[in-house]
Amino acid sequence: MFIKRIFYILIIFISIFTTVVHADDLEETENELNTMVWEDTEEEVANTDKEIKINSRSAVIYDRKSKKIIWGKQENTKRPMASTTKIMTAIIVLENTNLNEIVTVSKKAGGTGGSRLGLKAGDRVSINDLLYGLLLVSGNDSAVALAEYIGGSVEGFADMMNKKAEELNLKDTHFVTPHGLDMQEHYTTAFELAQMADYALNIKKFAEIVNTKTATISINGKQKNLKNSNELLGNLYGVNGVKTGFTNGANRCLVTSVDRDGMNIITVVLGADTKKDRTNDSKKLIEYAYKNYEIYSLKEDIKEKYEEWKNINEKRIDIIKGKETNVSTNLEEIDNYYIPIKKMEKEDIEIKIFNLKEIKAPLQKNSYIGKLCVYLNKEKVMELNITTAKEIEALDFWDYLKILTCSIL
């Protein structure tokens, strides 16, 4: 009986340890020793189209021209983002230092685990080459070396990252590290990660690096060849960046920029179970966007509708107790009139104008008197204010006296 108990205990012990490590865990090396678990939430999925089914827990298709979401799945849910963190790391580096400056690698940076460029304490590398190590091979050691050099410490650099996130109005994003290894207060959303990437891609050097398939850098004067870890770069038409990511807490992540026929989108997938899933999910999102959508400018439609309304309705607005008999108006100007629409959907665009029937003087210039609303499939996609073009003064004593005199005569 005693021998049987020992045998059963050994069987249980062996079975436990043979289920801890999976083949998928060996695909990438961005692991964190203190792995945390992020639970999926039952949050309402916004802007989801049933035509796409993906494995990733959060995802978004973001149009760079209109700055709008084409499609999303839990795109506003906070999640860990692994090494896609390095998009913000690169932004801070590129905006705060000279690429030719030389960094001496610290013991802490050289000892950073996970995916690595292969730095050792005492190595001397340029900022430029560290950036290639950061973005092509996702070097966590590069991230710490850059953070310490620019921010004085990892913590100081994280403060810079969070300040930039606040500047970009990324309200659901928070950084603790420059590399993205799992930490409880280190998170973003698919939507805000797309906005972050959009901003970064406007920096010429960043766009150049993430669109580089292979590069040769120098460490201590010795050359080292690097290959971009982005599996879609060079293998899918129009892809020109951006960044991969993996930790046990975040699962597989991928941010992708695509430019085809004048339509430039960013796709983000977070929390894919395998590398194959994140690749396939990204491809699905990209092909769906280009097959079904176009980017349409509403500017001429809005201008035509407003002028038509103006010619008829400005004279119909009554001015009570005002020196003016007619009101003149202005339509709010905006920087971006673009919206993503499904192909053949232009007929479903509707523009309506709502205005006050009467206004009471006095009124300051730019006082609100109405609004122009644009609807797509009965959903409002844009709203512009209509305001007074000049000040309208109220009638005074002498004006009333003049009116009375004229009426008597």
CA distance 134 to 45: 33
CA distance 167 to 190: 18
Which pLDDT does position 186 carry in this prediction? 98
Which pLDDT does position 43 carry in this prediction? 36
Which pLDDT does position 396 carry in this prediction? 67
User: Strands (DSSP E) along 239-292, which ranges?
Assistant: 239-247, 251-260, 263-272
Quickly name the fold that domain 44-294 has: Beta-lactamase (3.40.710)
Which pLDDT does position 361 carry in this prediction? 84
Residue 257: active-site member = no
Q: Check if the beta carbon of residue 372 is closer than 8 Å to that of residue 386.
A: yes
What pTM value is reported for the model?
Answer: 0.84
Q: Which of 56, 58, 106, 138 is catalytic?
A: 138
Which pLDDT does position 409 carry in this prediction? 61
Give residues with Cβ within 8 angstroms of 198, minimum separation 6: 62, 64, 67, 266
CA distance 363 to 323: 11
Q: Which of 56, 58, 66, 86 is catalytic?
A: 86
Which pLDDT does position 326 carry in this prediction? 85
* DSSP character string of 104-153: EPPHHHHT--SS-----TT-EEEHHHHHHHHHTS--HHHHHHHHHHHHSS
Count CB neighbours of 92 within 10 A: 21
Which pLDDT does position 48 carry in this prediction? 44
Q: Check if the beta carbon of residue 129 is closer than 8 Å to that of residue 219.
A: yes
Domain residue ranges of the chain, discontinuous segments joined by +: 44-294, 298-397
Quickly name the fold that domain 298-397 has: Peptidoglycan synthesis regulatory factor (PBP3), Domain 2 (2.60.410)
Left (φ > 0), alpha (ψ -120 to 50) or beta: where does 377 sit? left
Residue 83: active-site member = yes
Query: Could you list the mean pLDDT of each consecutive 10-residue stretch along the chain, which spans 409 residues?
Result: 46 38 34 37 42 94 97 97 98 97 97 96 98 98 98 98 98 98 96 98 98 98 97 97 97 98 96 97 97 96 96 90 86 96 92 93 92 95 95 72 68
The tokens 């009965």 sit on which residue?
A: 378
Residue 86: active-site member = yes
Q: Which of 56, 58, 66, 83 is catalytic?
A: 83
Which pLDDT does position 50 carry in this prediction? 56
Q: Check if the beta carbon of residue 302 is closer than 8 Å to that of residue 372.
A: yes
